[in-house]
Structure formats: structure tokens, C-alpha cells
Structure 1
Amino acid sequence: MRAISGAALQATLDEITAEMRAATERGRVANYIPPLAAVPDSRFGIAVVLGTGEVHVAGDADEAFSIQSISKVFALTLALGAVGDQLWNRVGREPSGSAFNSIVQLETEHGIPRNPFINAGAIVVCDVLLGRLQPREAIGQLLRFVRELAGDDTIAIDESVARAEQDTGFTNRALANYMRAFGNIHGEVELVLGTYFHFCALAMSCRQLAMAGRYLMAGGISDGHRVITDKRARRINAVMMSCGQYDNSGDFAYRIGLPGKSGVGGGILAVAPGIASIAVWSPGLNPSGNSQLGQMALERLVQRTGWSVFEPR
């Protein structure tokens, strides 16, 4: 890893932001959820929180956006805290190699989703949380957890996005009902889905998201308080590395070499263990549903800092 000063890092983020502003191929904004379709593809933000506590931002890093599937990282953390490794009896830890909302594998694999970061897996995670909580309690728990991690009580759920998810979530209903048929959804499907849609509707800025991800960068510790064990932090990072970008996860590991989790709102949370928590946002998506410019920006960041986990230390 090459040493980099705070000033040099800020200059790097400013350079990358200028390069992303000038990019002509920006991907396509998600159009199947109306509030997401309305976000201009000109937006780009990036935030880096170092292990020292320094925060560096550039571009639209303080504009809130719908984090969508990035919320699955925080939901997974809570579910593991609730039931521990029993969770893995109901959801796998393998890359899917399929689209994030694919139903194909569920038939041959008896209703067990490949991992907790595809839609089916995250719906199971919500069902696990609802085994102990009512929907309103589970939604409140996630919101409090993320606010505490980020140190920011202004973080909120965008109810307009949650309603739009509810109105357009036909594929997610199919996934949930199919898993219910296999006995892998225990609760009432509409209550599980309502919780899932609210989780996805969490709105955060890059700065807030990078702050919230610090516990994964620091071996389970945030602001001097232990959130999870270092072993669990390593394992969540491992699943993020192998599964966090849907059927684009292998290429992300190859080009960027960091654990990461994307969302169709255009955000990506990436973790350089022991070094930095990174959030990037640009709403235009590649064909796999990941931020096109977000991935490009992260690739340039690791090239210029040497932060890839595969870089010699």
C-alpha cells in the first residue's frame, strides 16, 4: 500500500470527480421505480472515511439518495446478531451468477437463496428479523442502527420510495411467495415485503453511508464501541467481496479488489479493511444493476491509492 496524505487523498477525490463529471457513458438510471427514474444522471458523489477518523468528500457527497440494496449489509448484520450462524440454514453464501431478482435458482435449490445480497436472500433476512419483531419494530431497529453507526439522527426512510416499491414490486412478491411454498418464508408475505421495501427506501448521502460503514473497516468497531466481533466483520466483508455486486461481483473483485455492496439507486459502499470506508454514488447503472461511474471511480481510486486487498502490504 502506498502512503497517501490527507491533502493528496482530497486531490485524488477531486480529480476523480472531475473525470466522472466529464464522462459521456453514464449508464441508465433505474426506470422501474418512479422516484429513482427522476434522479438526474449528472449526479456524482464520493466520500472516504479513514481509519484515523479523517473524512474526505467530493462532488454531491452530501446529497441523500435511495441506498436500496446497500441496506442489505445492515440488515444482514442485525440478523446475524439475532440468530447467529443459524441464518445460513436458510440462505447461502455463494455468488448467484444471476440477476439480482432472478427466480430461476430457487426451484432447483429448494427455495434457499444463494446469498443474502440478492433480493430473495434479503427477503429471507427480513423474515428472520420478523421472527422476533413486528414490521414497525424491525424498520425502527434498522433506522436506529444506521443512525448510530453514522452518528447522524437526520437519516430517514423515504416513504415515497417505499410506496413506489410496494406498487411495483411484483417480482419480489413472486420471489417471496415461491420461497413461502418451499417453507423458507415463515411470516405473512405482505408484512415481510413491506419491511423489505422500507429497508430499501433508506435515504443516505455518501458521507453518511461511509460513516456507517466504518465498523466493517475497523474489525467491527465504530467510534470506539464494538458493534460486532472482528470475526463477523471479516465474514460480512467476505460475502460482500464475493456477492455484493450481483452477477458483476467477479469483475468487481478483479478490477477493484474491495468488499463492496451496490444498490440500484446508484450507490456503492466499499471497504478497504483497516484503511477506509468508502461510499460513491452515481445513479446511472450498468447492465447488472450497479453504478457504472461508481465502479469506474472506485477502480481509479484503488489504482491511485493501492487500497485493493490484493495489493502487497
Structure 2
Amino acid sequence: MAFNLRGRSLLTLKDYTKEEINFLIDLSETLKKNKNAGIFPKNLENKNIALIFEKPSTRTRAAFTVACTDEGAHPEYLGKNDIQLGGKETIKDTARVLGRMFDGIEFRGFKHETVEKLAKWAGVPVWNGLTDQYHPTQILADFLTVKENFGKLKDIKFAYVGDGRNNMANSLMLGASKVGMDFKIVAPKKLHPDKNLVEEAKEFAKETGATITITDDVDNGTKGVQVIYTDVWASMGEEDVIPQRIELLEDYRVNMEMINNADDEVIFLHCLPSYHDDDTDMASKYPGIKEVTDEVFESKHSKVFDQAENRLHTIKAVMVATAGKQF
């Protein structure tokens, strides 16, 4: 079933129904098959897309740029020093200017209220490429990867292990509650998610049959799960707390013991970048910072590069569905 999402923004998955999320996943599968077959319908032909980046990016920038190009659009990168956003010009005014010139706007930055203001005033679809609170385009890629491995999303046993308060934990919990997963956040009590957000997710879960569990028990939290997911222990801007995070999360590092405690067919996911070996400046400076062992990261269970590729196909689906000519 197709859904009319034309003109819609994507700021958080709170705003999308189970059916709409599944539609975007299905559309992602179709567009991925098309690309692999060399079929490019140019659903965004003659469209111009603004890509605003306050934070550096590899996957989000690359995915939006390639997705635009594949579908016939022109992507325009606007870095934090390229425009006046919030500096010499209000966000409201910038939104109204860009909305007159572009057919869609991606924003990746810090405050979630910035992307909300852009969406309120731009008059064109605005897509959240990451804020401190939410990362919805990443979740769509994660869920496409899960579906490719298990053929479904509903009732999947999914454990997020690590910092339970960051944008990935928040977004995965909301997404899982929307599609009916058995979802757990496994984190030390000091890093449990906001209680109000947990209650909000549990309300969504009542409609879909999802279950939401927050626990600090690693063994019980990962027992028999089909997906183990983690993220870095300190997000951008949190470098000063890395030593404390290492001490707090040492027992939550994803290792083969954790993998062996899960389902035999468990997959390991990570939004990347990851500290899994010694070949980064950060790992050299903080040897204990690794949130996953290299053994797990390079194992048959790891689907992180399928997941990274799926950023492209799911971002393409979001843009085609909300700003394209065909859907």
C-alpha cells in the first residue's frame, strides 16, 4: 500500500505511523533493487536540495549527496561557515529564504529545536540528518538491515547496549515501539533514558504490541536477542567525559561472550563510526574507549557495512516519498 507523504518533513519517527514507516522501508527495498539493476527513474529530477551541516559527517553527507544524484536532483552542501544560520540571521529567516530556492532541506546539527524551526518556516520538506535528540534516517537504515536479515520487523528481539540516553537509544526505542519490536535498552542506571520518553514509547507500544524494557543487567538484557546494537560511548561534544564513560561502561562493551548469549543468528549493528581497534587517534589516546571488540566487529555477525550502505537507500526513499514527483 502506498502512502501520500508528499510535503511531509521527517524530524522524528514519533510523527510517523507504523504503516508509514513500513512503507518507507518497502520503498527503500524497491529503490535499492532499482539501483543494483541500473534503473534510475529520476524521481527528483530538476529538484534542488539544501544540505545543512553543523556537525561533520561521512555517511549522512555521502548518502544524501548520492541519493540526490541518483534521482536527478542537485545537492548543495551548506557548512556551518557557509551560511548565517542562527548567527547573523535568524533560523526563521534562513528557513524562509532557503524554502523559496530549494525543494527540500536536510539539517544535521546540535539542537533539535533548530530543525523544528526550519520545518515550521521553510514551506518545503525538512529532514533531520541528526540532532542531539534524534536520528530518524539512521533508524530507517537499521530497520531495513534487520528486515533483510530476518524478513520482518515485528516481534524482533532487539537490544541496544551502552549509553541509553543518546540520540541513537532514543530513536531506536521510538522506532521499535512504532513497528512492534521486543526492545531493550541495556545500560547502567546513570545512563538510562529520560523517563518521559520511555513512557511515550510505551504508549506507542500499546498500539503495535511492542515491549519496551530498560535494564542494567547485561546477561538478561541480551539473552536470546536477535539484534545487538551499540554506539560510541561519548557523542560529539562529550570528549571531556570520556574517562568517566569508560569506567561506567566497561561491562557493556559488546564482545563475543555477549554475542554467544544471544540468538544463534544474532546480528551486530552499529551506526558508525566505531572504536573497535587501535587505528584511530581517539583509541590511541583512550585505549579503553572501544565499545565493541574487533573480534565482534569483523565477525560474521556484523552487518555494519550493509547498514551503512542502507543509509543511502532509506534516505533516498524519504526524499522521493516526500519531495519526489512519482510518490
Q: Which has the higher contact order (CA 8 A, sep 6+)?
A: 1
**Normalising by the residue count of structure 1, what TM-score does the alignment of the two structures yield?**
0.29
Structure number with larger C-alpha Rg: 2
